[in-house]
Amino acid sequence: MSNFVQVTPFVTVESLERAVGFFRDILGFEVLLRQSNYAYMEREGVGFRLLELHGVSGAPPGNRRFAYYIDVRDVDALYQELKPKLEMLPKGDVTGPVNQPYGQREFMVLAPDGNLLAFGQPIPHET
């Protein structure tokens, strides 16, 4: 049996309240644990650890330095589910769905702190 379970990245954010609202209200994640500067959010086995940090050295939030890729079974179905809420985001914060030359169909959402979330699935090979 494999020892690895899953990857749950830490996403450093300027405002935990704003980040929780984005993941919960726009992307449909559930808050499983919430503390003063930390929240663990999950949807269908995909988790994110949101950590509010101020004045900590390292990569600052909001610089688009981090991108998170979420593999899904049906990217178009997820996009249609989220579309009414995604339309409330600023113009240019959502791209796709689009077929990429590297064999993935995906859409991308810019989170409030500038980090990029990509949702994608392999494009079936035609035989």
Domain boundaries, the chain: 10-53+66-122
- Residue 113, token pair as written in the block: 């702190």
Looking at residue 57, its pLDDT comes to 46
| The dihedral formed by the CA atoms of 60, 63, 64 and 68, expressed in degrees to the nearest 10 | 20
Question: Looking up tokens 């503390």, which residue turns up?
Answer: 35
Looking at residue 14, its pLDDT comes to 87
Looking at residue 64, its pLDDT comes to 52
Residue 29's contacts (CB-CB under 8 Å, 6 or more residues apart) are 23, 41, 42, 43, 48
Looking at residue 80, its pLDDT comes to 97
Select from 3.20.20.70, 3.10.180.10, 2.60.40.420, 3.30.360.10 the CATH code of 10-53+66-122: 3.10.180.10
What is the pTM (predicted TM-score) of this model?
A: 0.79
Looking at residue 56, its pLDDT comes to 54
pLDDT, block means (10 residues), the chain with 127 residues: 77 92 97 95 94 64 70 95 96 94 92 89 81
